[in-house]
């Protein structure tokens, strides 16, 4: 099979730029090795002495010799980010969020990835069902880490049922190979009521803890249920008392594993604490926030960052009137931060508006799944002050566009207010409220 990789961009001033490599050129080999995909590329370019074979658009081939530092990048980006086709998910998970989305949204939202290369590059979680022994061999050979794994359960039969894939249980054996090779991993469990909770959760934590220290952390998050579940497995939401039960199991294991290994290992998503109406754990319990992308420790980190930013504020600040929209999940925490600022600066008025998720259903409470349409309908006619602040996770990556393709400009026009996108840190939030950025 021929492997030619089209270059889409050259970083100005990079090694590739200095050598005259241009967008449209093809990379054929590195040190006479064919490049199957991004795994091979990242491994091969770490050598300090390289020979690249480049094909120009007219068919001419250039052989380029390079001497560089070990960790120095060449400055090339490729037309396909993985330098190969993306692998789609073969599972039919009973809790899959993509299966719970309405029709008519943009096509990319329906793509289910289950690609180990995205796990390494972007932190995506993979089920291992789409990973061949050849992939495992290369991960071990190149020592690519961390690999993020969607366990959900360590019961092989139950895993086959949950993922609706008869190979899902057998795929767990690949974790043994990664562990034996010393590859760092993180794990996640999407907890489904009456399916993989209770005794099954106990079993999973017990089994996964045997992969310490290479399996560094595991998050437990509640299943997200939209209103589009017709024909899907009948899952139900957890109650307050059931959330308390989940936390009791996790906290008990945290104490045991911290005593034995010096880390807490198993972590509950923030939603569990809000649902159970229990206090968010102290910062030390999060082991360095290894599971932020899964909503584990986001509230605690925001509190700590805001506290630090708050302490550095001057004694006086100009008066300002702003509003901020958020999901129901973060609403109480943002109100607490706004009250702290108003106490310090009485002239500053901050109105926090919780946006109910009518698009996906009221059970979806995170701000990252709020649509522009819901935002406009619920904030129309409200006092929004000088600025409307919107968290960056409401928008598609690198774009001012919501999930339903409503743009930031359309929101501003509909609500007749300037809107600012706020980055995720506590410092950015404080600065945005006070107009200091």
Say how far apart CA 337 and CA 330 lie, in whole Å: 11
Report the pLDDT value the prediction gives residue 110, as an integer from 0 to 100.
42
Q: Which residues pair with 418 in a beta bridge?
A: 387
Say how far apart CA 103 and CA 94 lie, in whole Å: 19
Helices (H) and strands (E) in the chain, counts: 14, 15
pLDDT classification of 150: cutoffs 50, 70, 90: very high
Transcribe 314-332 into DSSP letters. Answer: -S----EEEEEEE-TTTHH
The larger pLDDT score, comparing residue 258 to residue 104, is at 258
pTM: 0.82
pLDDT at 39 over 80: no
CATH 3.40.50 domain extents, the chain: 302-434
pLDDT classification of 376: cutoffs 50, 70, 90: very high
pLDDT at 363 over 80: yes
Other Cβ atoms closer than 10 A to 315: 6
Question: What tokens does 91 get?
Answer: 């599972």
Report the pLDDT value the prediction gives residue 115, as an integer from 0 to 100.
47
Least confident of 45-54, 150-159, 199-208: 45-54
Least confident of 82-91, 276-285, 374-383: 82-91
Other Cβ atoms closer than 10 A to 4: 12
Three-state secondary structure string covering 293-305: HHCCCHHHHHHHH
Report the pLDDT value the prediction gives residue 111, as an integer from 0 to 100.
46
Question: What tokens does 41 get?
Answer: 């590329």
Q: How many CA atoms lie within 13 A of 381 on its CB side?
A: 2
| Three-state secondary-structure class, residue 272 | helix
Q: Which CATH architecture has domain 5-78?
A: Roll (2.30)
The percent of residues above 90 in pLDDT, for the chain, comes to 64
CATH of 302-434, one of 2.60.120, 1.10.287, 3.40.50, 2.30.29: 3.40.50
Say how far apart CA 388 and CA 411 lie, in whole Å: 10
Least confident of 74-83, 119-128, 288-297, 360-369: 119-128
CATH of 98-295, one of 3.80.30, 3.90.320, 1.10.357, 1.20.120: 3.80.30
Say how far apart CA 253 and CA 261 lie, in whole Å: 12
The larger pLDDT score, comparing residue 384 to residue 229, is at 384
Report the pLDDT value the prediction gives residue 222, as an integer from 0 to 100.
95
What would you report as the CA-atom Rg of the chain, rounded to the nearest whole angstrom?
Answer: 24
Query: Residue 5 in contact with residue 26, Cβ under 8 Å?
Result: yes
> Which residue in 312, 382, 402 sits closest to 105, CA to CA?
402
Instruction: State how far Cα 219 lies from the chain centre.
Output: 12
CATH 2.30.42.10 domain extents, the chain: 5-78
Question: What tokens does 158 get?
Answer: 């139950």
Say how far apart CA 154 and CA 207 lie, in whole Å: 7
Say how far apart CA 113 and CA 105 lie, in whole Å: 17
Report the pLDDT value the prediction gives residue 85, as an integer from 0 to 100.
59
Produce one character per residue of 295-308: b if its CB has 16 or more CB atoms within 10 Å, e if not.
bbbbbbbbbebbee
Question: What tokens does 22 get?
Answer: 């241009």
CATH 3.80.30 domain extents, the chain: 98-295
Say how far apart CA 50 and CA 45 lie, in whole Å: 7
Say how far apart CA 29 and CA 31 lie, in whole Å: 6
Longest dimension (CA), the chain: 70
Report the pLDDT value the prediction gives residue 357, as an integer from 0 to 100.
95
The percent of residues above 70 in pLDDT, for the chain, comes to 92
Say how far apart CA 74 and CA 21 lie, in whole Å: 10
Say how far apart CA 239 and CA 255 lie, in whole Å: 25
Least confident of 77-91, 101-115, 133-147: 101-115
Query: Residue 42 in contact with residue 17, Cβ under 8 Å?
Result: no
């Amino acid at each position: 099979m021929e492997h030619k990789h089209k270059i889409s961009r050259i970083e100005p001033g990079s090694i590739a730029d200095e050598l005259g490599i241009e967008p449209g050129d093809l990379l054929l080999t590195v040190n006479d090795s064919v490049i199957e995909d991004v795994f091979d590329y990242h491994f091969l370019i770490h050598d300090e002495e390289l020979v690249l074979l480049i094909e120009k658009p007219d068919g001419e081939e250039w052989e380029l010799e390079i001497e560089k530092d070990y960790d120095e990048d060449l400055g090339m980006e490729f037309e396909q980010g993985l330098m190969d086709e993306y692998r789609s998910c073969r599972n039919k998970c009973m809790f899959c969020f993509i299966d719970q989305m309405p029709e008519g949204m943009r096509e990319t939202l329906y793509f289910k990835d289950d690609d180990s290369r995205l796990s390494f590059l972007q932190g995506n979680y993979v089920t291992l069902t789409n990973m061949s022994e050849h992939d495992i061999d290369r991960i071990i050979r190149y020592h690519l880490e961390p690999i993020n794994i969607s366990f959900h359960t360590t019961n092989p039969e139950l895993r086959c049922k949950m993922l609706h894939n008869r190979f899902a249980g057998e795929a767990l054996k690949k974790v043994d190979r990664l562990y034996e090779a010393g590859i760092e991993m993180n794990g996640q469990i999407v907890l489904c009521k009456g399916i993989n909770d209770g005794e099954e959760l106990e079993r999973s934590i017990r089994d996964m803890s045997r992969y310490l220290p290479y399996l560094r952390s595991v998050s437990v998050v509640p299943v997200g249920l939209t209103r589009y579940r017709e024909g899907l497995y009948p899952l139900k939401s957890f109650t307050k008392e059931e959330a308390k039960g989940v936390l009791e199991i996790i906290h008990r294991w945290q104490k045991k594993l911290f005593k034995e290994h010096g880390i807490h290992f198993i972590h509950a998503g923030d939603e569990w604490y809000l649902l159970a109406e229990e206090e968010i754990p102290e910062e030390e319990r999060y082991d360095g926030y290894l599971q932020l992308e899964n909503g584990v420790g986001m509230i605690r980190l925001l509190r700590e960052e805001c506290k630090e930013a708050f302490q550095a504020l001057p004694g006086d600040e100009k008066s300002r009137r702003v509003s901020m929209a958020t999901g129901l999940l973060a609403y109480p925490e943002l109100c607490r931060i706004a009250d702290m600022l108003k106490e310090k600066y009485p002239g500053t008025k901050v109105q926090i508006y919780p946006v109910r998720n009518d698009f996906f259903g009221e059970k979806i409470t995170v701000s990252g799944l709020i649509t522009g349409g819901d935002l406009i309908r619920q904030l129309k006619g409200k006092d929004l002050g000088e600025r409307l602040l919107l968290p960056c996770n409401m928008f598609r990556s690198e774009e001012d566009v919501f999930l339903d393709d409503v743009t930031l400009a359309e929101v501003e026009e509909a609500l007749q207010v300037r809107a600012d996108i706020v980055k995720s840190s506590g410092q950015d939030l404080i600065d945005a409220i006070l107009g200091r950025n």
